[in-house]
């Protein structure tokens, strides 16, 4: 590289013979021609190097761990040892408090670290080390369904290592399945579409920061910022899901026609990103019969603070009071459905029925983003996991919750033709700048911070790029 950088200077040196100067000019032109002829590969190489460097630096704010997917949770009276063991752990330590404490300790240790300053860096990220969100990434490895034989299940597939890099197919049979697609890639185009769905009383541009990061990773991605439920999120989830399904199908047909006019449509990758109750709207739309032909194209699902298990066990008394007022004064139907008051029989409620639908099973990648600081959505509900209150509740309410939880986890555990990656990501924001306000007390500040900050999205999306390509 040193000789190459010296070429422009020697070309114009009058001390060198003319023949030598001509030689250097020829050499320089040859290298420029080589660079121009291979510009795409060179740019891809430089992009990969930059990404690896950033991933290594950003990992300072990310804590990685692996847990095994639990077996079915049993109702009270069962002698299932794994369930009782989990109950003992929950009785000793609140998971939300544990995650917040872990993040706080990690944040304090960061202040003692030295950041590598030899490479080009985004000074916005490194402005104040203690103000950056801490991301706790929990990779959940699959455990076999109790109703299936061992031979029918892919056990403990390691897709992502401790540094977040993707290992890809691990068997020859999997690699063989990929060959036909590789052969077709020369003859067709792949349509990659991502649907972004806002939350309660939200705006269709709420998730624009996440969309922008996704576009940087994959500029060829087609996106839809859903608008059909804007100003209509107080109604029935069934109606919102129907509207979203129709909007998605209309969008996909237009994009498919466009691709088909320019060539062969080889494949479709359909991904979804939802914030808050937008995740319930997404799952409701996927349960619609008109979406059935598109389920085989589902690729990545990113849930940002979604109340997947509702509010059966919500410990935020102020927020619960607000929901009670919405139900009593405005008759907000979706709040009735989220709090299981839409039917006297819990097993006939909307959310219970939704958990019986196969709305998660077809996704290849599932990423659940939560925050222990978010008081708007119960921590366990955003993470689709057991909570302390439910583990000690022996009533019908506790049994219904466990049935819903099992139904959701069974979908994620279900065998797939390709590997499924399931991650829970805890985002712990710096709350010192919030001050003492109502938003902070009721937990709204962290819930909205998901929409107003893109640092956490940078960390997660650039560390796991394969999920977003």
* Eight-state DSSP code of residue 328: I
Q: Which two tokens stand for residue 434?
A: 């919030």
The confidence score (pLDDT) of residue 15 equals: 56
Q: Which two tokens stand for residue 86?
A: 């989990």
DSSP string, 125-148: TTS-GGGSPEEEEEEEE----TTS
* Range scoring the smallest mean pLDDT among 7-21, 119-133, 178-192, 202-216: 7-21
The confidence score (pLDDT) of residue 24 equals: 64
| Mean local confidence (pLDDT), 76-95 | 47
Q: What is the pLDDT of residues 309-355, one digit of tens each?
A: 999 998 887 777 887 887 777 778 999 999 999 999 999 999 999 99
Residue 344 class from Cβ within 10 Å (0-12 exposed, 13-18 middle, 19+ buried)? exposed
Q: How far apart are CA 259 and CA 187, in angstroms?
A: 12
* Range scoring the smallest mean pLDDT among 128-132, 355-359, 363-367: 128-132
Q: Which of 138, 140, 166 is nearest to 68 (CA)?
A: 140
The confidence score (pLDDT) of residue 428 equals: 92
The confidence score (pLDDT) of residue 47 equals: 74
Bridge partners of 135? 62, 427
Residue 57 pLDDT class (50, 70, 90 cuts): confident
**Rounded to two decimals, what is the model's pTM?**
0.78
- 3-state DSSP call for residue 194? strand
Phi–psi pair at 267, nearest 5 degrees: -160, 165
Q: In 59-144, where does DSSP find H-type helix?
A: 81-92, 95-110
| Mean local confidence (pLDDT), 367-393 | 93
Q: Which residue has the higher pLDDT, 191 or 9?
A: 191
Distances (CA, A) of 19 to 3, 26, 33, 55, 460: 18, 11, 21, 48, 55
Q: What is the pLDDT of residues 32-56, one digit of tens each?
A: 766 667 777 777 777 777 777 777 7
Residue 389 host element (H or E) = helix 388-391
Percent with pLDDT over 90 in the chain: 45
CATH superfamily of 63-468: Alpha/Beta hydrolase fold, catalytic domain (3.40.50.1820)
* Range scoring the smallest mean pLDDT among 190-199, 229-238, 388-397: 388-397
At a CB cut-off of 8 Å and minimum separation 6, what does 436 contact? none
Residue 19 pLDDT class (50, 70, 90 cuts): low
Query: What is the number of other CB atoms lying within 10 angstroms of the CB of residue 124?
Result: 9
Q: Which two tokens stand for residue 164?
A: 């977040």
Percent with pLDDT over 70 in the chain: 74
pLDDT of residue 257 exceeding 70, the answer is yes
- Domain boundaries defined on the chain: 2-53, 63-468
């Amino acid at each position: 590289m040193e000789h190459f950088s010296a070429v422009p200077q020697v070309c114009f040196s009058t001390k060198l013979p003319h023949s030598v100067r001509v030689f250097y000019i020829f050499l320089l032109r040859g290298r420029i021609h080589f660079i121009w002829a291979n510009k795409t590969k060179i740019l891809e190489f430089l992009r990969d190097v930059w990404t690896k460097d950033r991933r290594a630096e950003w990992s300072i704010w990310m804590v990685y761990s692996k847990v095994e997917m639990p077996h079915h949770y049993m109702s009270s009276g069962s002698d299932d040892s794994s369930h009782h063991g989990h109950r003992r752990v929950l009785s000793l330590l609140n998971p939300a408090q544990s995650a917040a404490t872990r993040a706080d300790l990690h944040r304090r240790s960061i202040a003692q670290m030295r950041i590598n300053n030899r490479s080009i860096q985004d000074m916005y990220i490194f402005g104040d080390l203690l103000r950056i969100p801490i991301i706790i990434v929990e990779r959940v490895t699959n455990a076999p369904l109790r109703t299936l034989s061992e031979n029918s299940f892919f056990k403990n597939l390691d897709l992502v290592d401790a540094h977040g890099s993707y290992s890809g197919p691990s068997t020859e049979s999997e690699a063989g399945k990929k060959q036909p697609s590789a052969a077709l890639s020369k003859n067709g185009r792949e349509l990659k579409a991502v649907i972004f769905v806002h939350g309660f009383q939200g705006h269709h541009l709420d998730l624009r920061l996440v969309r922008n990061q996704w576009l940087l990773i994959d500029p060829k991605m087609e996106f839809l910022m859903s608008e059909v439920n804007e100003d209509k999120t107080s109604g029935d989830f069934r109606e919102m899901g129907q509207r979203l399904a129709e909007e998605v199908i209309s969008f996909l047909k237009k994009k498919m026609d466009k691709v088909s006019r320019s060539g062969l449509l080889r494949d479709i990758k359909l991904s979804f990103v939802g914030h808050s109750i937008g995740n319930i709207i997404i799952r409701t739309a996927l349960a619609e019969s008109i979406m059935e032909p598109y389920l085989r194209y589902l690729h990545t699902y990113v849930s940002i603070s979604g109340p997947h298990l509702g509010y059966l066990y919500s410990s935020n008394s102020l927020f619960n009071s607000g929901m009670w007022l919405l139900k009593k004064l405005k008759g907000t139907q979706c709040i009735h459905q989220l709090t299981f008051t839409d039917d006297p029989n819990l097993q006939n409620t909307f959310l219970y029925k939704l958990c019986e639908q196969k709305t998660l099973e077809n996704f290849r990648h599932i990423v659940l983003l939560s925050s222990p600081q978010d008081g708007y959505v119960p921590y366990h509900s955003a993470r689709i996991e057991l909570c302390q209150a439910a583990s000690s509740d022996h009533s019908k309410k506790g049994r219904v919750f466990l049935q819903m939880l099992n139904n959701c986890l069974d979908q994620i555990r279900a065998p797939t033709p390709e590997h499924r990656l399931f991650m829970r990501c805890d985002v712990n924001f710096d709350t010192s700048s919030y001050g003492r306000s109502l938003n902070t007390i009721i937990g709204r500040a962290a819930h909205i911070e998901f929409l107003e900050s893109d640092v956490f999205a940078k960390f997660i999306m650039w560390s796991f790029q394969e999920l977003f390509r």
